[in-house]
Structure 1
Amino acid sequence: MSSRSESKKAAREARLAAEQEEAAKQRRQRTWSLIGGAVLLAAIIVVALIVISSSDSGDDGSDSGDVALFDGIPQSGNALGDPDAPLTMVEFADLQCPFCKEYTANVLPDLVEKYVKSGDLRMELNLLTFIGPDSQTLAASAYAAGDQDLMWQWTDTAYARQGTENSGYVDSDFIDSVSEAAGADPEQVNQEAGSSAVSQEITKAADAAQQAGISSTPSFLIGPTGGDLTNLDVQQLETSQFEDAIDQQLSDAK
């Protein structure tokens, strides 16, 4: 009897131990499920915040340039500003050049506001195509937009959306999107881009660069309108360095 009683007791204790272990296992599984769910929820929240942040940064118009900067300023082809301004500054640029983009984003707006809008300075933009085939496509489209007196809006927008050099980002959709954002008629831009007139403008810019000894972009010439232009050498693409040169030229012109 004692042996059977002990055997039953041992079996009962074993069963209870097994039940307790199973209960503990289920508790652990529930705990890990809760932790896993919390981690997953946290990951979803982080991804959502990143998406929202990206959406916010994409809605500030930064990829459309500052086309309003040029509102009300006379344009004719590649020229910006009063044709009778006492001073002219010529820029040589490649629309794939990241340093040209830096100048356009950080310096050009200050110069336009201070000197072009006041009638003291007119600007000309000569587009070069030395970086690669995409540079040729961009330049042709920009000059074509100039036929609608929107070259400066077009180039500003193209810089704002600039991709990696020669990566092939300059496709037909890119050109059309830039034209639309700049306020130009995309169909007219596409038609004019292949014209002999645009081809002549690109050749003219290359010839002017060679004559002036231009070997890098952006590069600048400055001088009295209709007179001899000289190199405008700046050590850094900072507004103050351009202001010093322009102010000196304006002082000499008086």
Structure 2
Amino acid sequence: MSKSKKNRTTSSSKIKQERRQAELERQKKTRILLIGTILIAVVIFAGLFVLATKNTGNPGGSGSPASFNYDELPRLGKADAPIKLVEFGDFKCPACARFSVGIKPLLVQEYIETGKAALYFVNMSFIGPDSKTASLAALSVYHQNSEAFWTYYDALYANQGDENAEWATEDFLVELAQNEKLPIDYDLLRKDIQNRTYADELARDNAVAKTNHVTSTPSLFINGVRASDPFNLGAIAAEIESAAKAAEAE
């Protein structure tokens, strides 16, 4: 091989090495840029999630605390109680029946009877046609005798029929009130059910549920903030204490 040819071969090999090195450097910079972009995106997403969680007061919440017109809702406990618990329920809902038996009595004993909290109820009648019938009957009882409402509330859940059957009929609802010896006018109760006297009020309740993004029953709000789990008494207690401290700081 001549000297000039050897030099050309060496030069060509050197150029290829330089090009290969340049390509490796380019790929390295691209990988670094890509990783950096991913890390920035992760940091931004995490920051937004933390901010959203902080603003809602509970993960998965819908924003600032819900605002309720407490004066227009059935209430168990003192109106001036610092903690206001709002339950969204459907009288045909089996889970609501479990809440009424397993959680509500403990809330009554620990918080409501001691004046620390009051419990309010919002109808969310969505399971079947007789969900609305039961709610209309309960509203009639409430407007006749606000204290009798809670006796009727307990009786409806205690005598709850099959979720898939239409059991909350006019006759059943009136007879239940009679069996419980509620201090109300039973003929008026029947008339209110037939005439759907409180249909507008029931529509208002369902609208409140929709506005606050309530999609299941029972749902419990504590001073406007949705409870993380309506069946976890320990979590509810912690959230009530947190709400109490926040109320005291205001």
Give the TM-score normalised by the residue count of structure 1.
0.63
- Aligned-residue identity in percent: 25
In structure 2, the CA distance between the partners of 1:210 and 1:190, relative to structure 1 (3 Å rule), is same
2: CA distance, partners of 1:194 / 1:248: 44
Structure 1 unaligned runs (5+)? 1-74, 224-228
2: CA distance, partners of 1:195 / 1:169: 19
Q: C-alpha root-mean-square deviation of aligned residues, in Å?
A: 2.0
- Out of 95, 116, 121, the position equivalent to 1:120 is 116
1:55-103 deviation line (CA, Å, top 9, x unaligned): xxxxxxxxxxxxxxxxxxxx98512211111111111111000000000
Aligned positions, number? 174
2: CA distance, partners of 1:246 / 1:80: 16
1: CA distance, partners of 2:72 / 2:211: 23
SS in 1 for 2:78: coil
Q: Tell which deviates more after alignment, 242-251 or 82-91.
A: 242-251
- Out of 165, 168, 171, the position equivalent to 2:166 is 168
1: CA distance, partners of 2:137 / 2:87: 18
Look up the equivalent residue of 1:183 and give its one-letter code.
L
1:184-242 deviation line (CA, Å, top 9, x unaligned): 4322222233556511221111111111000011112121xxxxx121111x6133232
1:88-135 deviation line (CA, Å, top 9, x unaligned): 111111100000000000100110111111111112101111101110
1: CA distance, partners of 2:152 / 2:189: 10
Look up the equivalent residue of 2:238 and give its one-letter code.
D
- Out of 140, 152, 155, the position equivalent to 2:153 is 155
Aligned position for 1:230: 225
Aligned position for 2:202: 202
Structure 1 contact 95–138 (Cα < 8 Å) conserved: yes
Aligned position for 1:85: 81
1: CA distance, partners of 2:231 / 2:125: 21
Aligned position for 1:101: 97
Structure 1 contact 95–135 (Cα < 8 Å) conserved: yes
2: CA distance, partners of 1:178 / 1:247: 37
Structure 2 contact 136–196 (Cα < 8 Å) conserved: no
2: CA distance, partners of 1:139 / 1:155: 10
In structure 2, the CA distance between the partners of 1:133 and 1:166, relative to structure 1 (3 Å rule), is farther
Q: Tell which deviates more after alignment, 127-136 or 190-199.
A: 190-199
Aligned position for 2:141: 145
